[in-house]
């Protein structure tokens, strides 16, 4: 079951990579949670929590009067998350082994958050519907996803960087319907019967000797090396995993280049009127007209703004 939902698995190396990745992604996820209104005293559900970093971030934001429950189908991930909470003395967080689909709870949550989890679903809309069952009538659902439609890029072009990025793009489940979730958040939310989400996009960008993007890229390749070689996307010799991070750094620095990871797209909704009834699904689509952060901040048309 674990490998069906998360093909990178939950080995100690992959869990370590997720924790490293979390240090890079944290500011983006934090912005999402702030904009979505996660605040002190809230009860938060972290969907597909992995080793727990989004849960830990949310736990900080909700403070001692709030609480966070992280759920994940992988027992190894949940054990790592519990261990992280214990080692760091984080008391307002708990973790449970369960799929989102099978999760039951006697309490409702003020917010549900998921990072890099819709991406792995065969039916992202059904996944969101499962989540809706657990959210308070005025609660929040917030998703942070990565978009493989936005390629790894380098300016000026660094062939080693672009080629490695293309390997990763090819390795990540080209046939999985959830793969495009980042660029289909509006569709998945609205089809689930929710209002059009607020949205923003950030692109991890770096350059120079000290960027963490080389290690992030090389360690992600390490996690999918079996897929790359089995699908003949790249050979072990081409990859030469133990020197990949240094090769990326050296070639990017030599070109004085600036490099990018794929876009991080975040979307969230605040339920205004409780769970929508089936008959309201069609009407929710029309709410998309004003459903962006841009629209919310600046008004949806010139008449509103000036
Ligand atoms: C890419 S990892 C992200 C972990 C964490 N959210 C983070 O950002 O560090 C995706 C996680 O979602 C879990 N997962 C995927 N589908 C799931 C489902 N339907 N129910 C529960 N867990 C799921 C996987 O086991 C994996 O730990």
Atom 14 (ligand 1) nearest CA? 48
Q: What is the pLDDT of residues 3-54, one digit of tens each?
A: 466 878 889 999 999 999 999 999 999 999 999 999 999 999 999 999 999 9
Q: Is the CB of 28 under 6 A from ligand 1?
A: no
The DSSP output letter for 206 is: E
Cα of 116 from ligand 1 centre, angstroms: 7
Ligand 1 neighbourhood includes 77 CB (under 6 angstroms): yes
What is the position in ligand 1's atom list of the atom closest to the CA of 98? 21
Going from the Cα of 184 to the center of ligand 1, the distance in angstroms, rounded, reads 19
293: which 2 tokens? 């952060």
CA of 280 to the centre of ligand 1 (A): 30
Closest atom of ligand 1 to CA, residue 10: 27
Q: Is 52 in the pocket of ligand 1 (CB under 6 A)?
A: no
Domain membership flag for residue 193: yes
Q: Is residue 205 domain-resident? A: yes
- Domain-located, residue 192: yes
Helices H, strands E: what count in the chain? 14, 10
Within-domain flag for 262: yes
Q: What is the pLDDT of residues 210-232, one digit of tens each?
A: 999 999 999 999 999 999 999 99
CB atoms within 10 A of CB 132: 16
- Residue from 48, 78, 121 to probe ligand 1 pocket by mutation (most atoms less than 8 Å from CB): 48
Tokens of 215: 């290690």
Distance of CA 57 to the CA centre of its chain: 13
Q: Which helix (H) or strand (E) holds 95?
A: strand 93-97
Residue 260 and residue 152 in contact, taking contact as beta carbons nearer than 8 Å: yes
- pLDDT one-digit tens code per residue, 114-164: 999 999 999 999 999 999 999 999 999 999 999 999 999 999 999 999 999
- 288 pLDDT more than 90: no
Q: Would residue 100 count as lying in a domain?
A: yes
Kindly state the tokens that stand for 86.
Answer: 């214990």
Answer yes or no: are the C-beta atoms of 242 and 248 closer than 8 Å. no
Of the chain, the end-to-end C-alpha distance in Å amounts to 55
Give 48 Cα–ligand 1 centroid separation in angstroms. Answer: 3
Ligand 1 neighbourhood includes 22 CB (under 6 angstroms) = yes
Domain annotation covers residue 239: yes
Q: In 3-state terms, what secondary structure has residue 71?
A: strand
Number of other CB atoms surrounding residue 305 within 10 Å: 9
pTM of the complete model: 0.91
Q: How far is the CA of 295 from the centre of ligand 1 (A)?
A: 31
Domain with 260 in it = 12-288
| Atom 11 in ligand 1: residue holding the nearest Cα | 48
Please compute the mean of the pLDDT values over residues 271-287 and round it to a whole number: 50
Ligand 1 neighbourhood includes 6 CB (under 6 angstroms): yes
Q: Is residue 218 part of a domain?
A: yes
In the prediction, which pLDDT does 303 show?
Answer: 63
DSSP tag of 262? P
The CATH number of residue 162's host domain is 3.40.50.150
Q: What is the largest CA-CA distance in the chain?
A: 61
Rounded Cα distance, 201 and 79, in Å: 32
* Residue with CA closest to ligand 1 atom 23: 48
**Sheet of 67-72: strands edge to edge?**
93-97, 67-72, 43-47, 109-115, 135-146, 264-270, 198-202
Q: How many residues does the chain have?
A: 306
Which of 18, 95, 117 best tests ligand 1's pocket when mutated (most atoms within 8 Å of CB)? Answer: 117
- Domains held by the chain: number: 1
Which atom, in ligand 1's list, is nearest to the CA of 6?
A: 24
- Dihedral, CA atoms, 213, 16, 115, 85, nearest 10 degrees? -130
Look at residue 103 in the predicted model and tell me its pLDDT: 98
Q: What is the overall mean pLDDT for the chain?
A: 90
- Mean pLDDT value across residues 267-293: 55
Asked if the structure places residue 191 within a domain, the reply is yes
53 CB within 6 A, ligand 1:
yes
Strand 258-260 versus strand 153-155 pairing type: antiparallel
> What are the tokens at 95?
């973790």
């Amino acid at each position: 079951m674990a490998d069906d939902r998360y093909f990178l698995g939950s080995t100690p190396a992959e869990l370590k990579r997720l924790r490293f990745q979390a240090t890079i992604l944290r500011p983006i996820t934090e912005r999402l949670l702030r904009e979505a209104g996660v605040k002190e005293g809230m009860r938060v559900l972290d969907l597909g929590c992995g080793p727990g970093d989004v849960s830990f971030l949310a736990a900080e934001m909700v403070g001692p009067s709030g609480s966070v429950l992280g759920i994940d189908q992988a027992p190894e991930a949940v054990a790592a998350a519990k261990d992280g909470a214990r080692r760091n003395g984080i008391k307002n967080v708990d973790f449970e082994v369960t799929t989102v689909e099978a999760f039951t709870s006697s309490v409702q949550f003020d917010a549900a958050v998921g990072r890099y989890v819709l991406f792995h679903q065969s039916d992202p809309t059904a996944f969101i519907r499962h989540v809706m069952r657990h959210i308070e009538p005025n609660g929040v659902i917030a998703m942070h996803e990565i978009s493989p439609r936005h390629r790894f890029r380098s300016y000026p072009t660094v062939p080693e960087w672009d080629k490695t990025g293309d390997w990763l793009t090819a390795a990540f489940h080209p046939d999985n319907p959830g793969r495009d979730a980042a660029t289909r958040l509006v569709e998945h939310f609205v089809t689930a019967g929710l209002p059009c989400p607020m949205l923003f996009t950030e692109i991890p960008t770096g350059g120079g000797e000290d960027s963490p993007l080389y290690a992030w890229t090389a360690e992600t390749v390490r996690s999918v090396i079996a897929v790359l070689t089995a699908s003949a996307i790249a050979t072990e010799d081409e990859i030469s995993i133990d020197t990949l991070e240094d090769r990326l750094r050296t070639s990017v620095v030599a070109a004085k280049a600036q490099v990018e990871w794929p876009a991080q797209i975040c979307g969230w909704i605040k339920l205004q009127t409780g769970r929508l009834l089936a008959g309201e699904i069609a009407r929710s689509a029309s709410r998309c007209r004003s459903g962006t952060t841009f629209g919310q901040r600046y008004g949806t048309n010139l008449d509103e703004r000036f």
